[in-house]
Structure 1
Amino acid sequence: MPGGTPAPAGDPSDILARARALVLETGEPLDRAGLLEVLTLPDERIEELLALAHEVRMRWCGPEVEVEGIISLKTGGCPEDCHFCSQSGKFESPVRVARLDIPSLVEAAKQTAKTGATEFCIVAAVRGPDRMLMSQVAAGIEAIRNEVEINIACSLGMLTPSQVDELAGMGVHRYNHNLETARSHFPNVVTTHTWEERWETLRLVSEAGMEVCCGGILGMGESLEQRAEFAEQLAELAPDEVPLNFLNPRPGTPFGDLDTMPAADALRAIGAFRLALPKTILRFAGGREITLGDLGARQGILGGINAVIVGNYLTTLGRPAESDIDLLVDLGMPIKTFGTVV
């Protein structure tokens, strides 16, 4: 148990033995108490944890890895105060307001498809989309569909019911709206809107029949208890996909001076989130490069991760797409493509 002497491996009271019996054998997730035990495992048991998480992923999700690219349609100038984000107009960060035109959006989708990606996500730094942005998104989706065979996702902030219906009518495959962190920690991360407002958008998206993409960022000052809380709350939401980000502190933001998450803690978190979400797409996202490096990327793919964002993120650099594709090939992980697997 947390804070005590860990039970030896194989002991029925040991958390990994219990997780094997529950999660691997039945597909049921660990509860918050069990997740906290996983997050407090000693370093020497991380390899064992990741091996179990990999077994869970292979049994309940299969070997395929989904590849996605993202692009910012509208960057910077956001009115919200998410303390990790350099796109907020409230902070003195280097990011400036910029908009992408439709031809550039189509070209980005083409380049993303060339990597083998099945998903292309259009993102905008806004509280929620206005009429002009919704019109741009509609035009962009139509232009992409005329040129590229790829699923289109969107991340446009909080939505009204009519906007949800409009996006569903455009054929948006998946909508991303991250809860970011545990409900109890959220007021320390954002003050201009609530966790509950985000949850409501996700409820509307799910009811409209779009896939739900919802994750967050680890390493924003949350406790291990709150990390376990967050994983359990995501399991309750039951999203189709969970992007797992690690804080990459951005200059000029309130979290700009936070330390990056220790690699061992990040690996424990990957294992824990897989045991909380055994049947969910768990996607490597921002911050993995500085938190885990190349070795960590390999460990994550063999430790429960079954999707990656390739290329750069919205305001930070990622790994070259070719590096991730080469890694998947090296590990013998088939890449899911549009309608099939290679």
Structure 2
Amino acid sequence: MTETLDTTNRQAPADGDILAVAREQVLEQGRGLTADQVLQVLRLPDDRLEELLQLAHEVRMRHCGPEVEVEGIVSVKTGGCPEDCHFCSQSGLFPSPVRAAWLDIPSLVKAAEETAATGATEFCIVAAVRGPDERLMNQMRDGVKAIRDKVDINIAASLGMLSQEQVDELADMGIHRYNHNLETARSYFPNVVTTHTWEERWDTLRMVRAAGMEVCCGGIVGMGETDEQRAEFAGQLAELEPDEVPLNFLNPRPGTPFGEQTVIEPREALRIIGAFRLALPRTILRYAGGREIALGDLGTEKGLLGGINAVIVGNYLTTLGRKPESDLELLADLQMPVKALNQTL
């Protein structure tokens, strides 16, 4: 992919050097950048990108360490979702090719075994739903038990918006971490989803944290949001203080309202990675969907040397990812150890 980027209006701040400020504030003091400061980073010119990535890597190494957390995901219920998330081919409201399907328990266990075999410590069960009904909660109860009987791995879940009763039940099952993405800045959310609100997602995350599960919350960049809204989003994530932030880059899906969006450019994607690391110095910042088309192999390596400290290996929910072996070989080449299971408990 050609690395071209319109750098109009991307100038270093006139009131001081933001990377010098970040070195003192984030690297030395451990305080993440504010939204206003993140915006300054996002407006840095391309000739300062390498400097940004180097600083972000130093922050990651000092405040998170060299280990990389590896995770696999599987969809227990695919397609047929009643929500209208404009990026998602699993919505039943769009003419996309994904159709509703359920994964049986033996297949779920097999997927967990295959994930563990890669060295991954986290296995996330995902469902395309507004929130879980009784059938899905039953599937979770049976599936989690079956996996625990066969596989030594942390189990995470992503089942949409939850009631307090469902939060408590998932915690009782031993779900290690719950994923529910805010997707984008609060101010831009109505451009992405209209069938529920940003606040409803926030409420689920609040209950998850109170129940003692780890909070996994990130989003997608490249959906038409501005730099200001990306900075706003970074600030809102910092306020939430999630344990993990999966960073997705829009991979436009045929049949969705965002199906004709232009894929984000590599330098822009790397700038976002560096900025989010400086906003979230102690958070697990995970490569998620779309990195393959936004960054390619070279960009993937640069991101790992620019603040990323976790990866999803294998395929995503409806799109293909890199082969797990490719990511693991890259981590070995970069001398980045895979985090052991007992370090994630």
Give the TM-score range, shorter chain. Answer: over 0.9
The whole-number CA distance in structure 1 between the counterparts of 2:218 and 2:144 is 24
SS at match of 2:245: strand
The whole-number CA distance in structure 1 between the counterparts of 2:197 and 2:88 is 16
Query: Counterpart of 1:140?
Result: 143
CA displacement 1:172-218 (0-9 Å, x = unmatched): 00000000000000000000000000000000000000000000000
CA displacement 1:218-257 (0-9 Å, x = unmatched): 0000000000000000000000000000000000000000
Q: State the Cα RMSD in Å.
A: 1.3
Amino acid corresponding to residue 246 of structure 1 in structure 2:
F
**Post-superposition offset of 1:5:** 5.3
Q: What TM-score, normalized by structure 1, do the two folds share?
A: 0.97
Question: Which residue, 313, 337, 340 being the options, matches 2:340?
Answer: 337
The whole-number CA distance in structure 2 between the counterparts of 1:328 and 1:4 is 32
Question: Which residue, 24, 28, 31 being the options, matches 1:25?
Answer: 28
Question: Which residue, 3, 6, 14 being the options, matches 2:12?
Answer: 6
CA displacement 1:136-162 (0-9 Å, x = unmatched): 001000000000000000000000000
Q: Which runs of 4+ in 1 moved over 6 A?
A: none
**Post-superposition offset of 1:6:** 2.7
Query: Counterpart of 2:190?
Result: 187
* Gap runs ≥5 in structure 2: 1-7
Question: Which residue, 260, 263, 266 being the options, matches 2:263?
Answer: 260
The whole-number CA distance in structure 2 between the counterparts of 1:71 and 1:184 is 31
The whole-number CA distance in structure 2 between the counterparts of 1:301 and 1:44 is 19
CA contact (8 A) 2:252 2:263 kept: yes
Query: Counterpart of 1:237?
Result: 240
Q: Does 1:222 align with 2:225?
A: yes
Question: Which residue, 96, 99, 104 being the options, matches 1:101?
Answer: 104
Question: Which residue, 47, 51, 54 being the options, matches 1:51?
Answer: 54
SS at match of 2:339: strand
* Gap runs ≥5 in structure 1: none
**Post-superposition offset of 1:337:** 2.0
CA displacement 1:43-76 (0-9 Å, x = unmatched): 1111100000000000000000000000000000
Query: Counterpart of 2:126?
Result: 123
SS at match of 2:166: helix
Query: Counterpart of 2:252?
Result: 249
Amino acid corresponding to residue 339 of structure 1 in structure 2:
N
**Post-superposition offset of 1:33:** 1.2
Query: Counterpart of 2:272?
Result: 269
SS at match of 2:150: coil
Distance 1:20 1:133, change over 3 A: same
Query: Counterpart of 1:278?
Result: 281
Distance 1:47 1:166, change over 3 A: same
Q: % of aligned pairs identical?
A: 73
Amino acid corresponding to residue 316 of structure 1 in structure 2:
T
The whole-number CA distance in structure 2 between the counterparts of 1:287 and 1:340 is 28
Aligned residues: 337
Q: What TM-score, normalized by structure 2, do the two folds share?
A: 0.96
The whole-number CA distance in structure 1 between the counterparts of 2:215 and 2:35 is 22
- Please give the residue correspondences for 1:296-315 in structure 2 after superposition, counting only pairs within 5 Å: 296-315=299-318
Query: Counterpart of 2:44?
Result: 41
The whole-number CA distance in structure 1 between the counterparts of 2:9 and 2:109 is 53
CA displacement 1:293-329 (0-9 Å, x = unmatched): 0001100000000000000000000000000000000
The whole-number CA distance in structure 2 between the counterparts of 1:282 and 1:220 is 20
**Post-superposition offset of 1:3:** 4.2
Amino acid corresponding to residue 141 of structure 1 in structure 2:
V
Query: Counterpart of 2:172?
Result: 169
Amino acid corresponding to residue 324 of structure 2 in structure 1:
A
CA displacement 1:87-119 (0-9 Å, x = unmatched): 000000000111000000000000000000000
The whole-number CA distance in structure 2 between the counterparts of 1:316 and 1:336 is 26
Distance 1:97 1:37, change over 3 A: same
Query: Counterpart of 2:85?
Result: 82
Amino acid corresponding to residue 261 of structure 2 in structure 1:
L
**Post-superposition offset of 1:13:** 1.6
The whole-number CA distance in structure 2 between the counterparts of 1:104 and 1:337 is 25
Distance 1:4 1:113, change over 3 A: closer
SS at match of 1:146: helix
The whole-number CA distance in structure 1 between the counterparts of 2:12 and 2:300 is 28
